[in-house]
Amino acid sequence: MQTEPASSGSSRLYAYTIREFDTADGKKGRAWTRIGVAFPHKDGTGFNIEVHSFPLDGRIVLFPADADSREDEPADAPPPPAPSRNSHTRRR
């Protein structure tokens, strides 16, 4: 298994799959599960992508590893990655 270069820093992107569900109170929720990582090639052209699982719907969302430092967070942005957890739940 390939490992990401230490120098990738904020160029690294985390790959997520999103599962929508109904919450107990009848609202819609989304569970964000980190399924991989993308990081730049050593020569700076292109990316290596490591996917540890594949989403059933085929949709993979990429966000910068430093997502918690973004000022203008898109509506579909996951919560900041937690170091010890692989999945995140966000209610909408």
pLDDT tens track of the chain, all 92 residues?
A: 444 444 445 689 999 999 999 999 999 999 999 999 999 998 888 999 999 999 989 999 999 988 754 334 445 555 544 443 444 444 44
How buried is residue 6: exposed, middle or buried, by Cβ count under 10 Å (0-12/13-18/19+)? exposed
The pLDDT value recorded for residue 44 is 83
Q: What does the domain layout of the chain look like in residue ranges? A: 12-67+82-91
